[in-house]
Amino acid sequence: MTADGEAHVQTLLASMSAEQKVGQIVQADIGSVTPEDVREFHLGSVLNGGNSGPGGNDLAPARDWLALADAFYAASMDRAPGQPAIPIMWGTDAVHGHSNIVGATLFPHNVGLGAARDPALIERIGRITAIEIRVTGQEWTFAPTVTVPQDYRWGRAYEGYSSDPALVASYVGSMIRGLQGPPSTAPILAGPHVAASTKHFLADGATVDGKDQGDATVSELELRLIHGAPYIPAMENGVATVMTSFSSWQGVKISGNRGLIADILKDRMNFRGFVVTDWNAHGQVAGCSNASCPVAANAGIDMFMAPDSWRALYASTLAQVKDGTIPMARLDDAVARVLRVKQRLGLFDAGKPSARAYSGRFDLLGAPEHRAVAREAVRKSLVLLKNTGVLPLKPQAHILVAGDGADDIARQSGGWTLSWQGTGLSNGDFLGATSLWRGIEQNVAAAGGSAELAPDGKFGRHPDAAIVVFGETPYAEFQGDIPSLQLRPELRRPFATMRKLKAAGIPVVAVMITGRPLYINEALNEADAFVTAWLPGSEGAGVADLLFAGKDRAPAFDFQGRLPTAWPATARHGGPTLFPFGYGLTYADGPQPWKALSQDSQVADDGSGGGVYFDKGLATPSWSLTVSQADGGDPLRVTTVPATGLSGRASVHAADHTVQEGARQFVIAAGPAGAAVEIAAQNAVDLSRETNGDVMLLATLRLDAPPSAPVAMSVRCDGSDCGRPLHLPEFAALAPGQWRVLGVPLKCFAATGADMTRITAPFRLDTRGSLNISVSRVALGGGMEADVIAKCPLD
Ligand code: BGC
Ligand code: BGC
């Protein structure tokens, strides 16, 4: 910072009221704040969470994002004469490209970049990402994630480059320079750059059992040498902000840990930027709630990410400043840090977002030269684990492309893509992107061959070779936590396809889409070649680049990807290693012999995926479906249908939805004892993270006749009623005879007083009237998957 810059910061600070200062350290989500609120509360920052977009539309076109950025900016600058005007700063999760924006270039997720072992490439990716962010008017990304994951059961492991601290550290400086430009006194926004944020400080990748937002019990030495390592290059390269982790270290939540934030990060590591919390993470600090957390401010937090809680948090923080709970000197330090970053950005002189360089250059979103770099990154990230000689394939042939992941851009892009979980999307939502299938088809067609897509492997014309694409489906954060290192059973179906193709004498190349190494010995044994594609993003053609020979039958490119972490031989975390860190074959190695692997996973099957309580008309393992009186009397546990209960007043039948008998229909006559339909388990589940994360209960329903009396929805805690029942207008308005996915934010149940840490029944319908309804599925998910979203009264 120049002396002039610092003088400007101090002048501003001296002219600010306590209200204006508190506003600067509060960040709200665009889904819960208006420009008018920004003007009134002097808010310093907004963010768009994974599920937020302009006007409530996560898929809003790029120009709407820019227009909204202008509106927030104008509100922040609209001040009475003599009042300080401080431009707002907008943060976004551009974690693999500007990944919330339709049409943006989507780079491989970090785990794939870790395989590429190419720091110079990382800097180019950072620069392109920054340019695309600038197009839509934001000036801050919550990236790079510099976690060093030690347990790949963690649902965020793919956001980390590697489990190796040295490899992670070797990338951090490059990514920060790409995003922010070199550390210098020149304004960041003067170049093609934005402010970066290293996250999640500290040891987010060290939690026990890989539990997201869990507790890291590691020693201080490991904390420093493994998890602290990436923060050294981050400081050297002048990262503007640091985001604290949801997790805790030795039982103390990081966001309230003064020793780590104030003493280590700021004093010892000499961090000069500002520290922002994660999404309502302050609410998890002992003694705090989402609405109040002086402990975090006093521990050294400079900005609260208070997406939907900002209003109450603003009020409590202001009161705590006024009564001295938060010392004025601490507030001044926090505000000065925020202002310094704004000064360093050049925000005070930048003008409105749409007037800045790159703004509105929509041609730069997904520009061909950007996509070319993403495609190069895909090529460099692929890791060849097996090749008995089938690769490279001859493109002048007939190629079958099979597997459920072959033509699915959402799947190859993973979480944090357009929507938070990366779910609820179809190929049409990805303007300009290329699926793996399309890339293969193009490659083969250009060489005079032909390709055929048949996800189930049932080909029309006998192929010369088959490529089977399989693997994980998208997830983000805790929704991706898994108990053991294996694919869910339904995702293993392509193994049988491989077997059938082999039996028909067709050589098979397996391509795995995945955020992490998993036990897949069966596929490794079946296939003649095996390529790990990680989560490649929008440029699926980068995969074909490596699978096919070019002219003269020589491979056009060679593999250079190396495992960024060890690959397991069983599904047990901490079990034996199959391929070590750094492993990866090349064409130069030539064909390699294969010795069949044991197909003993050494763990029990996981059963159904978490968060699905009822599917295709059946309760999932450990859940049961019951019809009873409202007070629980006369219960009928529905196992087979048809079934009759409530002394003949209720009957349950099979109904069809998506598949034959994929739903259950309840026909219940009115009665004074009432009736309840409930999905429940013996043991309570803790849904507090899901509640904080804006996850919804999604019920796929068909009202078969209008109910004769109000129907209440509720949850139960520890086997008893908890919270007030919800009478949702959206439920009452469901059109009879039509299947609808009704989304009820878990927050709604929490707001009625339910203890979301002890849920035994996530779904319950209650009525005294007649009820005729069919239910196909009850599960947790996001708003993108709902047809109707309940607007329940909150607070
Ligand atoms: C995630 C962060 C992210 C933030 C904003 C949090 O839940 O943990 O990584 O930057 O939300 O979307
Ligand atoms: C937001 C994410 C955030 C998460 C917190 C979601 O609703 O969209 O950005 O990371 O909640 O757990």
pLDDT digits (tens, 9 = 90+) for 7-31: 999 999 999 999 999 999 999 999 9
Instruction: List the alpha helices (DSSP H) in 285-390.
Output: 294-299, 310-322, 328-345, 368-381
- The predicted structure's pLDDT at residue 784: 86
Calculate how far, in angstroms, residue 757's C-alpha sits from the geometric centre of ligand 2: 18
- At 619, is the pLDDT very low, low, confident or very high (cuts 50, 70, 90)? very high
Q: CB-side exposure of 522: number of CA atoms within 13 Å? A: 18
Between β-strands 140-141 and 89-92, what pairing exists: parallel, antiparallel or unpaired? Answer: parallel
- Would the pLDDT of 513 be above 50? yes
Give the tens place of pLDDT for each residue, 164-214.
999 999 999 999 999 999 998 899 999 999 999 999 999 999 999 999 999
- Write the residue with the smallest CA distance to atom 8 of ligand 1: 278
- Write the residue with the smallest CA distance to atom 11 of ligand 2: 693
Q: Which amino acid makes up residue 695?
A: V
- Write the residue with the smallest CA distance to atom 12 of ligand 2: 693
Which residues participate in catalysis according to the annotation?
Answer: 278, 477
- At 228, is the pLDDT very low, low, confident or very high (cuts 50, 70, 90)? very high
91 C-beta closer than 6 A to ligand 1:
no
Report whether 778 contacts 763 (CB < 8 A). Answer: yes
- Would the pLDDT of 608 be above 80? no
Give the tens place of pLDDT for each residue, 664-711.
999 999 999 999 999 999 989 999 999 998 899 999 999 999 999 999
- For ligand 2, which residues put their CB under 6 angstroms from it? 49-51, 279, 420, 477, 692-694
Rounded CA-CA distance 771/758 in Å is 28
- The predicted structure's pLDDT at residue 605: 66
Calculate how far, in angstroms, residue 52's C-alpha sits from the geometric centre of ligand 2: 9
Answer whether 0.75 is exceeded by the pTM: yes
159 C-beta closer than 6 A to ligand 1:
no
- The predicted structure's pLDDT at residue 489: 87
- Would the pLDDT of 129 be above 60? yes
Between β-strands 248-249 and 215-216, what pairing exists: parallel, antiparallel or unpaired? Answer: parallel
- The predicted structure's pLDDT at residue 607: 47
**CA-based Rg of the chain, rounded to a whole angstrom?**
27
- The predicted structure's pLDDT at residue 795: 45
Give the tens place of pLDDT for each residue, 321-377.
999 999 999 999 999 999 999 999 999 999 999 999 999 999 999 999 999 999 999
Give the tens place of pLDDT for each residue, 441-476.
999 999 999 999 999 999 999 999 999 999 999 999
Nearest ligand, measured from the Cα of 91: 1
- The predicted structure's pLDDT at residue 606: 53
Q: What is the mean pLDDT of the chain?
A: 96
Rounded CA-CA distance 101/352 in Å is 20
- Write the residue with the smallest CA distance to atom 7 of ligand 1: 279
- The predicted structure's pLDDT at residue 609: 52
